[in-house]
Amino acid sequence: MTTTQSEVDFEGTAPVPGAPLLEVDNLFVEFRTRDGVAKVLNGVSYRVEPGETLAVLGESGSGKSVTAQTVMGILDMPPGVITGGEIRFHGENLLKASPKRRREVRGSGIAMIFQDALSALNPVFTVGFQIEEQLRLRKGMSRRDARKRAVELLEQVKIPNAKGRVRQYPHEFSGGMRQRAMIAMSLALDPEMLIADEPTTALDVTVQAQIMDLLKDIQVERNMGLILITHDLGVVAEVADRIAVMYAGRIVEQSHARDLYRKPGHPYTQGLLDSLPRLDLKGTELTTIKGLPPSLLNIPKGCPFNPRCPRVQDICKTEVPPQHRLAPGRLSACHFAEELISGD
């Protein structure tokens, strides 16, 4: 029942003719800092198919954003160093690709949107110009065609009065509008895959709901693969097909959304769900996960979660748990995953 980390198996996902859209395979990344070597990613593997939404869930420092940055090729190196693994896009290993090829893939193959739209947009150019620039440089469009397409894109992300808005600067947009503009920009080159890094964290709930609806609509319309990076268990529950839970640079659990919420396959996931205050349930005391996430400079021996785990045994302190396959498309990196699932 156990497999090694590099042989991730996803029988549960849709059958694939040829290579999958995106495959991250046993990725290792370190940050070499003055204080020592921080092991940021320690064998991360996941796969995304067209039209599928994978939510990467984790707290700060879990490595969820670093994985995305490595996939996009925008990781700061130094201090980052990729020490192992592959990132395959349509079967092509991007880590071995030439810088020119990587630039081609960025934007037209895989695009990314960020949490802070204000700093991701250049304040000295109009929103329209920033969208048109890509179209002209990468698609060789004329100025007029690019403007027309930019307006279309802004309309697609439901920005009212798109014709007037293309001429405006990012600071003239409200928070929600800015996030929409950034989505429009990321769609300019018709990517097959979109990575959204905490796209709604900086927004108010009512606006967050609008943006999530928009992302979902666009994804369905274009049959895009979507990686949603977030810490919000609520947002994940509303949109994700599959979920990968990260802790200390490892994926500790991977599962279909419904299964994960119904019966968590890892004590960390269980702890996260229990510590979440619920809008629909008023409890008295929240069950917390004791302690703190480990320092990446000094990850505990064995299972990285063992100092905080309520089910810790001796084996957890010595041996790194392998990925247990609990069901088709369901993995858990816990020595006692089967008991967790079947037991009480």
Contact residues toward another protein (CB under 8 A) are 34-35, 59-60, 160, 174-177, 204-210, 212-213, 231-238, 240, 257-258, 261-262, 271-273, 275-280, 282-295, 297-298, 307-308
Q: Which is nearer to another protein, 93 or 174 (CB)?
A: 174
The C-alpha atoms of residue 254 and residue 256 are separated, in whole angstroms, by 7
Shortest separation between residue 311's beta carbon and another protein, angstroms: 16
Distance CA 19, CA 45 (A): 15
Smaller CB distance to another protein: residue 45 or 255?
Answer: 255
69: amino acid identity, one letter:
Q
* CB neighbours of residue 213 within 10 Å: 13
Q: Which residues contact 202 (CB under 8 A, 6 or more apart)?
A: 115, 116, 117, 175
Please enumerate in sequence order all residues whose Cβ is within 8 A of that of 120, keeping only pairs 6 or more positions apart, or say none.
113, 114, 182
Shortest approach of another protein to residue 227 CB, angstroms?
Answer: 18
Output 142-148 pairs: Cβ under 8 A, ≥24 positions apart: none
Give me the least distance between CB of 47 and another protein, in Å please.
20
Rounded CA-CA distance 86/24 in Å is 6
Q: Is the Cβ of residue 126 or residue 306 nearer to another protein in the bound state?
A: 306
Instruction: Pull the structure tokens for residue 301.
Output: 């021996």
Peptide bond into 322 cis (omega under 30): no
Round to whole Å and give the CA distance between 73 and 93. Answer: 12
Nearer to another protein, 280 or 314 (CB): 280
Nearer CB in complex with another protein: 164/291? 291
Tokens at 86, concatenated: 């592959």
- Which is closer to another protein, CB of 6 or CB of 161? 161
Strand 22-33 and strand 330-332: pairing?
A: unpaired
Q: Do 36 and 160 contact (CB within 8 A), yes or no?
A: no
Report how far residue 309's alpha carbon sits from residue 59's, in angstroms, rounded to the nearest whole number: 16
Question: Shortest gap between Cβ of 296 and another protein (angstroms)?
Answer: 10
Question: In terms of CB distance, is 127 or 212 closer to another protein?
Answer: 212
- Shortest spacing between CB 314 and another protein, in angstroms: 18
Name the β-bridge partners of 92.
Answer: 89
Could you tell me if 98 and 106 are in contact, meaning their C-beta atoms sit under 8 angstroms apart? no
Would you say 144 or 290 has its CB closer to another protein? 290
Strands 330-332 and 110-113: unpaired
Q: How far is the CB of 290 from another protein (least distance, A)?
A: 4
Least Å distance, CB 323 to another protein, is 23
Cβ nearer to another protein, comparing 170 with 293: 293
- Please report how close the Cβ of residue 291 comes to another protein at its closest, in angstroms: 5
Strand residues in 5-131 grouped as ranges (E)? 22-33, 36-48, 53-57, 80-89, 92-93, 110-113
The distance of closest approach from Cβ of residue 136 to another protein in the complex, given in angstroms and rounded to an integer, is 31
